[in-house]
Amino acid sequence: MNYIFYFLIVISIICGAINGKLTDVVNSILTGAELSVKVAFSLIGIMAFWLGMMKIADKCGLIKFIAKVIKPVTKRLFNEIPDDSPAIGDIAMTFTANAFGLANAATPIGIKAMEELQKHNTDKTSASNAMCMFLAMSTAGFQLIPATVIAILIGIDYKNPTEIIAPTLLVTSIAFICAIILAKVFQKLWIPQKEKPTEDN
């Protein structure tokens, strides 16, 4: 990725020099750098707020309550996991963070959930069905409130940053449902290596 950005910057400077607009290119670079710092600072506030809310929710038992509420769903989607597994709570926290657009906060929780799922994995050399399902659902990234995107729009002085909520909800909902369906389909189609028939059979 670094090489790609380096290539784009070099090409922009060369094209600007050829067209006699090198000054405009330099000004755009400086303006973009200033804007990126402004956006980064605007993200600090909203990220700190939601991360604090997640911490409070965990301390007051809200996450455990959410885990109990979604237990019937998780039991069907992750039928390989015991009901008392800590992975259920970690999965609930991950989806809650993703739902509020906090992908950065969801990442460490998701890693912890994967570690818990690995403990229930009978084949340590490959991902279990539960791990694949969790990865698919996390990658789809269902979002109720895209907090990070809204913060970026606020940082660039967008007039109506909340208008992104409806299309984001629609797109992520479709992606989320498709991820679950495809994961279930591939679970039915995929034959584990140890169960594959041999040529002698």
More confident site: 63 or 122? 122
Q: Which helix (H) or strand (E) holds 108?
A: helix 103-119
What is the widest separation between alpha-carbon atoms in the chain?
73
User: pLDDT grade, residue 46 (50/70/90)?
Assistant: low
The mean pLDDT value for 138-159 works out to 77
Give whole-number Cα distances, 44 to 22, 31, 52, 70, in Å.
33, 20, 12, 30
The mean pLDDT value for 155-178 works out to 84
The mean pLDDT value for 154-164 works out to 78
201 pLDDT more than 70: no
Q: Are 94 and 67 in contact (CB under 8 A)?
A: no
The mean pLDDT value for 167-187 works out to 88
The mean pLDDT value for 44-53 works out to 71
User: pLDDT grade, residue 197 (50/70/90)?
Assistant: very low
User: pLDDT grade, residue 191 (50/70/90)?
Assistant: low
More confident site: 23 or 199? 23
DSSP 85: -
The mean pLDDT value for 123-129 works out to 80
Backbone angles phi, psi at 83, to 5 degrees: -60, -30
Q: Are 146 and 164 in contact (CB under 8 A)?
A: yes
The mean pLDDT value for 62-88 works out to 75
pLDDT of residue 192: 57
- Greatest mean pLDDT range, 22-26, 27-31, 147-151, 164-168: 164-168
C-alpha angle 99-172-120 in degrees, rounded to nearest 5: 65
The mean pLDDT value for 33-48 works out to 73
Tell me whether residue 149 is exposed, middle or buried, using C-beta atoms within 10 angstroms of its C-beta: 0 to 12, 13 to 18, 19 or more: middle
1 pLDDT more than 70: no
pTM confidence score: 0.62
> What's the CA gap between 97 and 104, in Å, rounded?
9
Arithmetic mean of pLDDT over the chain:
77
> What's the CA gap between 107 and 35, in Å, rounded?
26
- Residue 141: left if φ>0, alpha if ψ -120 to 50, beta else—which one? left
Q: Are 120 and 80 in contact (CB under 8 A)?
A: yes
